[in-house]
A = this chain, B = another copy of it.
Amino acid sequence: MVVRADLAGQPAKLAVQVRPPGGRPMPAVSHPYWLRDNCPCADCRDPRGGQKRFQIGDLPDGLTAVEAVEDAAGLAVLWSDGHRSHYPAGWDAPAGPDERTEHAKRLWEGGDFARGLPEADWAAYLADPEERIAVLAAVRRSGFALLRGVPVEEGRVLAVARSFGYVRETNYGELFDVRVEPDPANLAFTSAAIAPHTDNPYRDPVPTLQLLHCLRNDCAGGDSGLVDGFRAAALLREEDPAAFALLARVPVPFRYRDRGAELSAAMPLIGLDPRGAIREVRFNNRSTDTAALSALPPAELDAFYAAYRRFAAITLRPGLRLDFRLAPGDCLVFDNTRLLHARTAFEPGDGTGGHRHLQGCYADLDALASTLAVLRRDTAVLDELEELFAGEGAGEYLGEDVTLAAHMLQAAGLARAAGAPPALVAAALLHDIGHFRGSGRELMAGTDNRHGAVAAARLAPYFPPAVTEPIRLHVDAKRYLCATEPGYADRLSPASAHTLALQGGPMPPDEAAAFAAHPFGPDAITVRRWDEAAKDPAAPTPTFAELRPLLMESMRP
Let me know if A10 is at the binding interface, CB within 8 A.
Answer: no
B258–A290 touching, CB < 8 Å: no
Task: Write the nearest CB–CB distance from A20 to chain B, whole angstroms.
Answer: 8
Let me know if A115 is at the binding interface, CB within 8 A.
Answer: no
Bound CA span A31–B289, Å: 16
Let me know if A401 is at the binding interface, CB within 8 A.
Answer: no
Residues of chain B with a CB closer than 8 A to A438's CB: none
Given A203-B366, A262-B369, 13 more A-B residue pairs with CB atoms under 8 Å apart are A20-B294, A27-B298, A28-B294, A48-B258, A50-B289, A52-B287, A55-B195, A57-B313, A91-B291, A92-B291, A203-B364, A260-B374, A265-B366
Let me know if A325 is at the binding interface, CB within 8 A.
Answer: no
Given contacts A52-B288, A312-B55, A313-B57, contact A98 B259 (CB under 8 A): no
Bound CA span A275–B33, Å: 32
Which of A166-174, A402-410, A428-436 makes up part of the contact surface?
A166-174
Let me know if A81 is at the binding interface, CB within 8 A.
Answer: no
A169–B171 touching, CB < 8 Å: no
Scan residues 163-195 of chain A and give those whose CB is less than 8 A from a CB of chain B: 166-171, 185-187, 195
Q: What 1/0 flags go to A440-465 for Cβ under 8 Å of B? A: 00000000000000000000111110
Copies in the complex: 2
Bound CA span A366–B202, Å: 9
Scan residues 11-57 of chain A and give those whose CB is less than 8 A from a CB of chain B: 18, 20, 26-31, 33-34, 37-38, 46, 48-57
Scan residues 239-269 of chain A and give those whose CB is less than 8 A from a CB of chain B: 248-251, 253, 255-266, 268
Q: What 1/0 flags go to A98-117 for Cβ under 8 Å of B? A: 11100000000000000000
Contact of A274 among B95, B248, B365, B462 (CB under 8 A): B248
Instruction: Give A248's nearest chain B residue, CB to CB.
Output: B274
B253–A95 touching, CB < 8 Å: yes
Chain A residues proximal to chain B, CB less than 8 Å: 18, 20, 26-31, 33-34, 37-38, 46, 48-57, 59, 91-95, 98-100, 166-171, 185-187, 195, 202-206, 208, 248-251, 253, 255-266, 268, 273-275, 285-295, 298, 301-302, 305-306, 308-309, 312-313, 316, 364-367, 369-370, 373-374, 377, 460-464, 555-557
B262–A57 touching, CB < 8 Å: no
Bound CA span A306–B31, Å: 10
Instruction: Give A310's nearest chain B residue, CB to CB.
Output: B57
Contact of A312 among B57, B170, B462 (CB under 8 A): B57
Contact of A49 among B48, B185, B462 (CB under 8 A): B185
Bound CA span A115–B46, Å: 41
Residues of chain B with a CB closer than 8 A to A265's CB: 366
Residues of chain B with a CB closer than 8 A to A93's CB: 291
A171–B205 touching, CB < 8 Å: no
A274–B250 touching, CB < 8 Å: yes
Bound CA span A274–B268, Å: 8
A251–B274 touching, CB < 8 Å: yes
B52–A309 touching, CB < 8 Å: no
A51–B294 touching, CB < 8 Å: no
A463–B259 touching, CB < 8 Å: yes
Residue pairs across A and B with Cβ atoms less than 8 A apart, 12 shown, are A49-B258, A50-B255, A52-B288, A94-B291, A95-B253, A202-B366, A203-B364, A203-B366, A259-B460, A259-B464, A262-B369, A263-B366
Instruction: Give A52's nearest chain B residue, CB to CB.
Output: B286
B462–A309 touching, CB < 8 Å: no
Q: Report the 9 A-B pairs with minimum CB-CB distance, sorted nearest first.
A: A205-B205, A262-B373, A95-B292, A33-B305, A166-B169, A57-B312, A98-B266, A94-B295, A51-B286
Instruction: Give A459's nearest chain B residue, CB to CB.
Output: B259
Given contacts A55-B195, A285-B55, contact A274 B249 (CB under 8 A): yes
